[in-house]
Structures are given as C-alpha cells and as structure tokens.
A and B are shown apart, each in its own frame.
Chain A
Amino acid sequence: GAVVSQHPSRVICKSGTSVKIECRSLDFQATTMFWYRQFPKQSLMLMATSNEGSKATYEQGVEKDKFLINHASLTLSTLTVTSAHPEDSSFYICSARGTSGGGDEQFFGPGTRLTVL
C-alpha cells in the first residue's frame, strides 16, 4: 500500500519559536495533501488542503499566517507552526491523495506530536 511519512515524530519547543513538520509520500505522487490537528480525546479536524504548486486552502478558523503550508513537489508538503504557543500543542497528522488509482482513499502519515512549553 501507499506509504506516507512525517518528520519529526515528536517535537518539544519553547513558546515563540517556529516548528516545521514535513509530510512525504514515499511511493506515490500526491496531488493533494491534507493537514489535520487532533487534540486529546477529540477527533481529527481538517486544518487545510494543499495542492502541489498552488496556495493552500484553509478551513474556517485556521490562521493561515500562523500555519504556513508549502507543497513544493508531488511528494512533499510542509507545515510550519510560527510563533508557537502552548495552545498549539497537539497531534498533527497529514494525509495524501494519489494521482492514480486508489479511488478517494487518503493515506495518513504517522503523525507529529508537538509540545510547546
């Protein structure tokens, strides 16, 4: 099956710093990547949709200047949490949708646990 990786798996940072999370599709080309956030004991909430070579589309309530998304190639999307604060501590998960076959299935990365002190 299709594999999506995320890096780092865990990150702890100080308040006010920026953190970059990478999402890679390892064995397929992803035309679209999605970024989700999951707080403890809650479900996944879509933050933004990222298409290769174009600007990301953000969901209502998500600050685009705080959560910078870059989808520079068909295998890589990055999410940068700028000026992180403790309330940004969460589990960030990306998913990718391929260019061929697979129907509407999205393949999820393993997630990145962000803790802001």
Chain B
Amino acid sequence: DTGVSQNPRHKITKRGQNVTFRCDPISEHNRLYWYRQTLGQGPEFLTYFQNEAQLEKSRLLSDRFSAERPKGSFSTLEIQRTEQGDSAMYLCASSQNKESQESTDTQYFGPGTRLTVL
C-alpha cells in the first residue's frame, strides 16, 4: 500500500493559464474524490468518481473545472483560465466500497497539490 499520491505538489501559474493535476489512488480503491481547501477552512467536496463514472459534482465546480478518471484508475483535475480565487490546496482521496453501495467509506487522502495563481 503506497498510499494516495498527487502530482505536482506545488503549482504556480499566471491568471488565465490552464493547469492539470493528477491523482493516483490506492490501487484497489474504486472510489476517488477531489476536495479543495483554502486557508483556515476544512476541505470542501468538489467531485466524486466510482470507478470511471463521475457520480457527483459540487456547485463549487464551475464550468472551468473538469475531472476525469479514465479506466477507473488515476484521475486528473483540470482548471481552465485560472483565476486568483482558484488558489488553494487541491486534495484527492480514495476509498474502497466494501459495504452497501450507499454507505460512507473511510477516505484516505493524498498530500495535496498547492495551486498559486498570480
């Protein structure tokens, strides 16, 4: 078990540029989540995948944000035309659904990607 990994760990970009982050979940986990965390706040849910299907998206996820999980393994989160308000830590988590489909699993988090938009 190598844990959840995220790349890059830090990204500095200029306003208007596109950025893409990658998350590699724990290998046997079928669920994957993206969160955003700003200073002084807890993580806020962005989106969730079960295998390759994106099942839920938060209202926080504007049209500039897109997430994919091809083949149900790693996931990417892309932000187009970045704005200064996008500056945050982007956290990925994964879990293995062992109980009923509707139950809450224990989520394991990666180290995050810190985005700074200048």
Judge: A and B partners, yes or no. no
Residues in chain B within 8 A of chain A (CB atoms) = none
B-contacting residues of A (Cβ < 8 Å)?
none
